Structures are given as structure tokens and as C-alpha cells.
């Protein structure tokens, strides 16, 4: 199976984050190395519009068979369109059919090879259309509220459940691993009735958007017993 690492150059929340140094390596290196260690991944493909990111990724072992077109790297571009383009071009250049693939965002540096393998194994075992990594909510979502322009609290969910013990356990996607069937993605869907969750621990579920996320991930990595 191939792994696509999407890493465009125009990050707004944290400029240059994909190659920003974390514990002695560029951020993207951790995702490349995890993919290369994975038993499930045969090719690690970088999708980028940025020559500097491409050069760094190649140094750490990723393949960069072509650059991403500018129209698929804008702020308004849809990720699914880039996946469709990348898979289609690989199929054409390799003269082969790609039935499924993995997406690994470089903003999840604490994800390990075993997480990738676990998600792929679940995908294959369930004959799934998609498997997405999720993490348990730390705070009950049923306590969430909307706040209007006057700071008045408004309910999102009907009814009130006061005790944490009465609340159902909920999960949210952590952005670490996606396994997709090509057929589903070409329909521009991420989920069907054959979609499943692979649960990851909170300590490996950091998704970096802003500098605070970066600093927290760096702290966790620097204190990890299993430094990469």
C-alpha cells in the first residue's frame, strides 16, 4: 500500500511548520520515518508544491515523483481533489491500479509505525471503505455550549445530563492516519456505512496547527522513553 504525505508550502497557522525543527529533526521527518518503518507501506509519496519541503522529504527517504499543481495547493483547494489527482497520476505513471491508500499528515509527529499498521489491518479485516484514527474526548461533548454575541450560553444538545458517569463516551478524529478506498475517494466521500475508527492514545494524538501545539508535541517527544 502507498502512503501519501500531503505537505503544501503555504501554512497560515504556523508558517513553515512542515519543516520546522523539532527535537533535532524537521517535523515532516517523523511522519516519513514512521511510514518507512510500517510493515504495511510499500511507497512513501510526498505531495507538495514547495521545493524546499520536497528536498527535505527526499533526504529522509520519501519519494517525490512529481510536484503538486498550484491550484491544488491553495487555501481554498480541497484535500480530496489532491488525493484524486495524486492517485490518478501514480496509476498512470506506474501503469497499475491503486485500490486503496493511506494518508499521513506531517502534523502528527507522535504517531508511530504500529498505529499505521493497526489502521491498515483493521481496514483489511473489515473490508472497509475507510479507517480513520480517533481519540477519546477528554471533556464530555454534551457539556459544550454555544456563546452568542452577548456571551449568553446556548444549548447545542437538547436536555441536560449532570453526571459525567451518565454521559456516553465520545471520540474525535486526531488527524494521524487515514486509510481510504480509492473508489470511495473518487466519489468525494470520507465516510460510508463501511467506515471504522482505529483508537489511538491521547499522548500520540497531537495534531499541530499552531505554535502552542508544536511546543506541546515537542515537550512530549523530548520526554518520551521511545524517542524517534
Q: What are phi and psi of 208, to 5 degrees?
A: -85, 115
Question: Is 164 assigned a catalytic role?
Answer: yes
Give CA–CA dist 113/31, Å, rounded: 9
Beta strands per DSSP E along the chain: 2-6, 21-22, 25-26, 43-47, 100-103, 130-136, 145-147, 153-155, 171-181, 195-199
Q: Of the residues 164, 186, 202, 204, which is catalytic?
A: 164
If you search the block for the grid coordinates 499543481, which residue do you land on?
Answer: 69
Q: Which helix (H) or strand (E) holds 180?
A: strand 171-181
* Angle formed by the axes of helices 27-37 and 51-59, nearest 10°: 40
Q: Which residues are catalytic?
A: 164
Amino acid at each position: 500500500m502507498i502512503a501519501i504525505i500531503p505537505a503544501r508550502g503555504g501554512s497560515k497557522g504556523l508558517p513553515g511548520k512542515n519543516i520546522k525543527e523539532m527535537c533535532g529533526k524537521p517535523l515532516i521527518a517523523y511522519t516519513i520515518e514512521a511510514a518507512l518503518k510500517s510493515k504495511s507501506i510499500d511507497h512513501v509519496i510526498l505531495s507538495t508544491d514547495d521545493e524546499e519541503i520536497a528536498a527535505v522529504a527526499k533526504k529522509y527517504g520519501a519519494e517525490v515523483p512529481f510536484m503538486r499543481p498550484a491550484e491544488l495547493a491553495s487555501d481554498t483547494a480541497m484535500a480530496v481533489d489532491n488525493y484524486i489527482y495524486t492517485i490518478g497520476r501514480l496509476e498512470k505513471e506506474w501503469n497499475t491500479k491503486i485500490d486503496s491508500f493511506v494518508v499521513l499528515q506531517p502534523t502528527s509527529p507522535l504517531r508511530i509505525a504500529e498505529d499505521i499498521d493497526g489502521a491498515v489491518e483493521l481496514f483489511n479485516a473489515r473490508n472497509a471503505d475507510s479507517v480513520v484514527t480517533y481519540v477519546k474526548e477528554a471533556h464530555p461533548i454534551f457539556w459544550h455550549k454555544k456563546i452568542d454575541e452577548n456571551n449568553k450560553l446556548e444549548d447545542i444538545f437538547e436536555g441536560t445530563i449532570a453526571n459525567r458517569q451518565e454521559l456516553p463516551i465520545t471520540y474525535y478524529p486526531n488527524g494521524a492516519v487515514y486509510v481510504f478506498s480509492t473508489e470511495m475517494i473518487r466519489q468525494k466521500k470520507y465516510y460510508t456505512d463501511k467506515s471504522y475508527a482505529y483508537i489511538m492514545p491521547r499522548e500520540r494524538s497531537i495534531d499541530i496547527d499552531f505554535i502552542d501545539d508544536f511546543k506541546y508535541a515537542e515537550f512530549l517527544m523530548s520526554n518520551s522513553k521511545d524517542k524517534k
